[in-house]
Amino acid sequence: MRYWGLFIAKLAAVFGVAAALKWLIRAVVPIGYTATRFGHAPFSHDLAYTTAMMVYTLICIGLLALVVIDQKYRCRTCARRLRMPVNSGSWSAATIFAPPRTEFICPYGHGTMTQPELQIAGRETAVWVEHKDIWEELESLGPKR
Ligand SMILES: [Zn+2]
């Protein structure tokens, strides 16, 4: 729930910035004579306004991409940034049996995200594996009593 709440909050912030930027463009960029005289919409009839709106669109797409990329590398439970990237697999010989991938882990042990680095059979998505109890898992790897 926290994961999606943070995502919605970041999207709301981006939409707020986009609305403020659009208001600023309309306030600062002058509309040309042709657009105002004949009642045309300024977009595609006024070069300065059209250029400003194209730059505005690129900025908005960039902000949305930053939000999505940032969200991808967050814990699905606590929404903290995933840490400790560990590379595994091999680029040279065993790309079929051990494809290269990067694993990220939540600093509080909620889960692990495995990001495939090799896209042989189409686009492969990251896999999130939630840990039930990381301490129990770690104790099972230690010496037997
Ligand atoms: Zn977490």
Residues 43-74: pLDDT tens digits? 888 888 999 999 999 999 999 999 999 999 99
Higher pLDDT, 89 or 80: 80
Residue 44 CA, ligand 1 centroid: distance in Å: 48
7 Cβ contact partners less than 8 Å away, ≥ 6 residues apart = 67, 71
Residues 16-49: pLDDT tens digits? 999 999 999 999 988 877 777 888 888 888 888 9
Residue 15 CA, ligand 1 centroid: distance in Å: 27
pLDDT of residue 93: 66
CA-nearest of 112, 114, 115, 116 to 130 is: 112
pLDDT of residue 27: 92
Exposed, middle or buried by CB within 10 Å (0-12, 13-18, 19+), for 82? buried
pLDDT of residue 11: 97
Residue 107 CA, ligand 1 centroid: distance in Å: 6
Residue 145 CA, ligand 1 centroid: distance in Å: 30
